[in-house]
């Protein structure tokens, strides 16, 4: 989380806004719980000091006296504050977990919308867009997930509140002690946060290698590659590749861990020296009778709050989680910004225009007029001056060698790309004038590398249109009735054998 103070503040505000939008009700409840958890240690420390200072007088004058009443109130506050300290972390974790999952889901959907916003697919073959998309995808699918930042933010608030509370308590002993401890604690915390943030960002940056190692592991554990792995003896090769990928990711994270080690060591030693000076001065003044019991109790509580906050393992881990989350959000922002900035260059490749409805088309024909096409980032023309007429209500077979442009022709017909030059007309209307969504709903295509969805038979056919009449009609038209009737659960059978009750058709 490097950069200027303004940049760091901007990132924090952006993160908090996204968390709030994920679920406002849960976010409000979490804010309340974090506030209670943050204030409880200070309330406990102050109440403990009041108890210590009032016990002697209460013993002499009884609990019915003014000091006795004060003692009872302080004990009650101590009990409530202690209970809050014990209960609030579990409550906070439960709420933060639910809010974090909603945050992850929100970020997943955002990336899906960004990637799906162009009606064409050319942007997915643009090298720069591909880099941004891969970075964003790795950021949201790695560990920790960005949603884990919800818990980390709550922990950060509690940490800094404890630092400030402990410093305020130390001010009862002496202002210089409070100032020295606060400055030393903040410096140490800053070094810790920087180190763990760098580790988190390095993990986000090396997610490709981590993902490669996971992919290689899954090749050995799952069935799709089982035949090839055994037939060609690829087992040892997979294990070696996995080790190489894991070492590449680990090396970057180890390098990040070593960054700033000297400054972290200096900050740690400085903190120990400051605590030693404060406690030594306190002991010296106690031996001379210059400090009362209340001041001793408050000072020790203040030191305990500060040291416990810095040394907490969860607080250290929170720094890494926040660094990873910030890197993941930055990758998503960069992807969206790049698509917006380059949208003017993606006309005919990713961003398709046109507003005329395509309902009922074509009535007469689809015509290719001297169509040329070159894929983005290449020099070779796949189609060169193609003239072709597709009469409506007729069938046409196109035969050619691999790479001749058959699939490219279908992609242009589906308007996944626009011609580099020339035109495609539908009943005399240039296809560029048609609304791309409307036209694509008029086209049905099964590509060579079609997707086999591990969903039910009904979902594989309907794809989001739950209409039983249409399902039956489609099954009858495609001669699938007997096949569907033969499935173990009919339309509800999952078409993937790796799932319980699933089959492969």
Q: What is the DSSP string of 217-283?
A: HHHHHSSTTHHHHHHTT-HHHHHHHHHHHHHHHHHHHHHHHHTTHHHHHHHHHHHHHHHHHHHHHHH
CA atoms within 13 A on the CB side of 171: 9
Give the pLDDT score at 209: 59
Instruction: Return mean pLDDT, the chain.
Output: 81
Contacts of 49 (CB under 8 A, 6+ apart): 172, 294, 295, 297, 298, 301
Residues of the chain with pLDDT > 90, as a percent, come to 21
Residue ranges covered by each domain of the chain: 5-346, 365-440, 453-505
Among the ranges 208-212, 243-247, 347-351, 428-432, which has the highest mean pLDDT value?
428-432
Give the pLDDT score at 77: 92
pLDDT at 260 over 60: no
Contacts of 41 (CB under 8 A, 6+ apart): 81, 85, 162, 165, 305
Give the pLDDT score at 259: 59
CA dist 472 → 217, 442, 476 (Å)? 41, 20, 6
Of 493 and 347, the structure prediction assigns the larger pLDDT to 493
Among the ranges 140-154, 255-269, 290-304, 367-381, which has the highest mean pLDDT value?
367-381
Give the pLDDT score at 348: 46
Q: How far is it, in rounded angstroms, from Cα 297 to Cα 292?
A: 9
Q: Do the Cβ atoms of 397 and 143 come closer than 8 Å?
A: no
Q: pLDDT category, 372, cuts 50, 70, 90?
A: very high
Per-residue three-class SS string for 270-335: HHHHHHHHHHHHHHHHHHCCCCCHHHHHHHHHHHHHHHHHHHCHHHHHHHHHHHHHHHHHHHHHHH
Among the ranges 114-118, 182-186, 285-289, 326-330, which has the highest mean pLDDT value?
182-186
Q: How far is it, in rounded angstroms, from Cα 2 to Cα 8?
A: 7
pLDDT at 254 over 90: no
CA dist 172 → 25, 45, 82, 292, 422 (Å)? 39, 12, 22, 11, 83
CATH fold of the domain at 365-440: Rossmann fold (3.40.50)
pLDDT at 198 over 70: no
Among the ranges 235-249, 323-337, 418-432, which has the highest mean pLDDT value?
418-432
Give the pLDDT score at 347: 44
Give the pLDDT score at 24: 92
User: Which architecture, in CATH terms, is 5-346?
Assistant: Up-down Bundle (1.20)
- Model pLDDT for residues 306-315, shown as the tens digit of each residue: 877 776 667 6
Q: Do the Cβ atoms of 163 and 306 come closer than 8 Å?
A: yes
Q: Do the Cβ atoms of 194 and 188 come closer than 8 Å?
A: no
Give the pLDDT score at 253: 62
What mean pLDDT comes out for the span 53-59? 82
- CA trace torsion 129, 132, 138, 141 (10° rounding): -80
User: What are the residues facing 356 on neighbouring strands?
Assistant: 434
The tokens describing 344, both together, are 């003017």
pTM over 0.85? The answer is no
Q: pLDDT category, 197, cuts 50, 70, 90?
A: low
Q: Which runs of consecutive H residues, i.e. helices, occur in 312-434? A: 313-341, 406-413
Give the pLDDT score at 390: 95
Of 468 and 431, the structure prediction assigns the larger pLDDT to 431
Q: How far is it, in rounded angstroms, from Cα 53 to Cα 44?
A: 14
- Model pLDDT for residues 451-476, shown as the tens digit of each residue: 778 889 998 888 777 788 888 888 89
Q: How far is it, in rounded angstroms, from Cα 361 to Cα 369?
A: 18
- Model pLDDT for residues 137-165, shown as the tens digit of each residue: 766 666 677 888 888 888 888 888 888 88
Give the pLDDT score at 95: 92
């Amino acid at each position: 989380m490097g950069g200027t103070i303004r940049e760091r503040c901007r990132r924090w505000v952006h993160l908090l806004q996204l968390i709030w939008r994920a679920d406002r009700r849960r976010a409000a409840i979490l804010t309340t719980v974090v506030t209670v958890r943050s204030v409880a240690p200070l309330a406990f420390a102050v109440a403990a000091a009041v108890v210590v200072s009032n016990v002697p007088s209460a013993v002499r004058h009884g609990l019915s006296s003014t000091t006795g009443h004060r003692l009872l109130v302080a004990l009650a506050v101590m009990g409530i504050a202690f209970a809050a300290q014990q209960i609030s972390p579990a409550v906070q974790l439960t709420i933060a977990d639910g809010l974090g999952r909603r945050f992850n889901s929100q970020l997943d959907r955002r990336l899906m919308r960004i990637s799906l916003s162009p009606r064409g697919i050319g942007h997915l073959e643009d090298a720069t867009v591909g880099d941004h998309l891969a970075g964003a995808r790795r950021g949201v699918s790695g560990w920790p997930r960005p949603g884990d930042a919800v818990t980390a933010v709550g922990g950060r608030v509690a940490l800094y509140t404890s630092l400030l509370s402990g410093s305020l308590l130390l001010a009862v002993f002496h202002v210089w002690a409070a100032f020295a401890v606060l400055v030393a604690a903040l410096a140490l915390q800053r070094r810790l946060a920087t180190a763990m943030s760098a580790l988190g960002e390095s993990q986000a940056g090396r997610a490709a290698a981590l993902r490669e190692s996971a992919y290689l592991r899954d090749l050995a554990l799952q069935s799709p590659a089982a035949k090839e792995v055994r037939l060609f003896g690829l087992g040892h090769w997979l294990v070696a590749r996995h080790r190489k990928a894991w070492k590449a990711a680990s090396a970057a994270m180890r390098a990040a861990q070593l960054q700033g080690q000297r400054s972290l060591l200096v900050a740690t030693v400085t903190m120990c020296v400051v605590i030693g000076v404060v406690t030594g001065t306190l002991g010296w003044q106690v031996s001379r009778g210059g400090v009362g019991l209340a001041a001793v109790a408050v000072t020790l509580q203040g030191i305990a709050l500060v040291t416990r906050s810095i040394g907490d393992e969860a607080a250290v881990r929170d720094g890494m989680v926040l660094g990873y989350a910030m890197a993941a959000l930055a990758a998503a922002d960069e992807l969206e910004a790049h698509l917006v900035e380059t949208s003017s260059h993606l006309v005919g490749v990713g961003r398709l225009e046109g507003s005329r409805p395509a309902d009922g088309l074509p009535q007469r024909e689809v015509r290719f007029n001297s169509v040329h096409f070159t894929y983005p980032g290449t020099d070779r023309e796949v189609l060169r001056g193609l003239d072709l007429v597709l009469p409506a209500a007729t069938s046409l077979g196109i035969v050619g060698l691999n790479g001749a442009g058959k699939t490219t022709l279908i992609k242009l017909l589906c308007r996944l790309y626009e011609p580099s030059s020339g035109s495609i007309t539908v009943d005399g209307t240039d296809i560029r004038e048609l609304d791309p969504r409307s036209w694509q709903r008029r086209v049905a295509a099964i590509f060579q590398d079609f997707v086999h969805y591990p969903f039910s038979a009904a979902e594989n056919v309907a794809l989001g249109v739950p209409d039983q009449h249409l399902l039956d009609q489609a099954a009858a038209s495609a001669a699938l009735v007997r096949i569907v009737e033969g499935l173990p659960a009919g339309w509800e059978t999952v078409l993937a054998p790796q799932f319980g009750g699933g089959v492969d058709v």
